[in-house]
Amino acid sequence: MLFSVLVSASAQAADNSREAIAERLKPVGELCVKGDACAGDGSAASSPPADSGAGGQASAASAIDGEKVYGGICMACHTTGAAGAPRLGEAGDWEGRLSKGDETLYTHAIEGFNAMPAKGGNPALSDEEVKAAVDYLLDSVR
């Protein structure tokens, strides 16, 4: 009797229809390459590639959303203060760092410094994206 109850319960719990199997096997995400359009996200298709001229770099850097970059990876340490990371909005954490100047802070974020991995551990980030995230952090304490 116990065996028949177990078999009956497992048969009811597992839906092995083609639709159910397809639903369980469908991808949970999509790999999008910078500059290519992604399904459900027109931002890559609508954003023009960065200009290679000096003026284009400045406009491309200013168009990057530092808060979005921060929310993608930086927040893991800069919200909690993990490994001594200066926290977003905590002026006391930034006192000794601000005097080094923005360029030094950009270099530390891009190349890595002490416990800070290069580009926050995401080598796919451009230097401009990292700088935008640094600017976002700095704006929170200035």
What confidence tens digit (pLDDT) does each residue in 100-135 have? 999 999 999 999 999 999 999 999 999 999 999 999
CATH of domain 64-139: 1.10.760.10
What confidence tens digit (pLDDT) does each residue in 51-106 have? 444 444 444 556 899 999 999 999 999 999 999 999 999 999 999 999 999 999 99
Q: How confident is the model at residue 49 (pLDDT cuts 50, 70, 90)?
A: very low
CA gap 111, 134 in Å, rounded: 13
Which residues have C-beta within 8 Å of that of residue 82, sequence separation ≥ 6?
Answer: 76
Amino acid of residue 3: F
Domain ranges of the chain: 1-50, 64-139
**Contact assessment for residue 132 and residue 66, using Cβ atoms and an 8 Å cutoff:** yes
**Contact assessment for residue 91 and residue 138, using Cβ atoms and an 8 Å cutoff:** no
| Predicted TM-score (pTM) above 0.75 | no
> Does 19 score more than 90 pLDDT?
no
